[in-house]
Chains A and B, each alone.
Chain A
Amino acid sequence: ILNVEQSPQSLHVQEGDSTNFTCSFPSSNFYALHWYRWETAKSPEALFVMTLNGDEKKKGRISATLNTKEGYSYLYIKGSQPEDSATYLCAFKHTNTGNQFYFGTGTSLTVIP
């Protein structure tokens, strides 16, 4: 089993604050990294699919960067809103593990109005 770690485990921020969290994964044989947002009582929703070292992707106030050489991805949220409250999951795909995606345990974000 490949180790995918997310930090911090949970985060509370005030509305309007910007925040970021980390997904760490093995730096060898990288294939792809996915970010998902999972709101309580809903289905996980895809945010980004990242495949190339140096990738930067943006969707509204949320953006992500990828460093495959050192094995990490950052997710940034600018001007957090209460509707951003969710668990953010990353999923790593290795070249040598068939079709398996390895998920982190997630970062739980709570935005306080």
Chain B
Amino acid sequence: GAGVSQSPRYKVAKRGQDVALRCDPISGHVSLFWYQQALGQGPEFLTYFQNEAQLDKSGLPSDRFFAERPEGSVSTLKIQRTQQEDSAVYLCASSLAAGPHHEQYFGPGTRLTVT
């Protein structure tokens, strides 16, 4: 069966450009998480969706970051006016149900480089 997929796998953006990162979770998974992983660090929480509802966006680092999941499946993380500090791997994960007792299934990540 298909796992979590993310696209693009690699993205190079010039400073000031807008980017959109896509996550296709496992079909039927209720929960969806976005994480940002800077070099040498562990993943850091950005935002959480339960179906189409964005229940927690407390980890988004600035108002340049926006995420949506309009139909409760595919999610897009948008970064406006990219800055060099946005360079990181962006990971998406989904889980079958709500609640922290369910394991998360991760995608391969999108590596964003802002030049």
CB pair A44 B91 closer than 8 Å: yes
A44 with B106: CB separation less than 8 A: yes
Bits for B22-64, please: 1 = Cβ < 8 Å to A, else 0.
0000000001010100001111110010000001101100000
Q: Give the interface residue-count category, chain B.
A: 20 to 34
Expressed in whole angstroms, the Cα–Cα distance for A104 and B42 within the complex equals 5
Q: How far is the CB of B55 from chain A (nearest CB, A)?
A: 6
Decide yes or no: A89 and B43 within 8 Å by CB, A43-B108, A100-B56 being known contacts: yes
**Chain A residues with Cβ under 8 A from B33's Cβ?**
99, 101
Point out the residues of chain A lying under 8 angstroms from B103, CB to CB. Answer: 34, 46, 49
Cα(A75)–Cα(B93), bound, Å = 22
For B70, what are the chain A residues with a Cβ–Cβ distance below 8 Å? none
Q: Are A100 and B59 in contact (CB under 8 A)?
A: yes
Nearest Cβ distance between residue B42 and chain A, in whole angstroms?
A: 3
How far apart are the CA atoms of A49 and B105 in the complex, in Å?
A: 12
1/0 contact trace for A84-105 toward B, CB 8 Å?
A: 0000010101000011111111
Chain A residues with CB under 8 Å of chain B are: 4, 31-32, 34, 36, 41-46, 49, 51, 89, 91, 93, 98-106
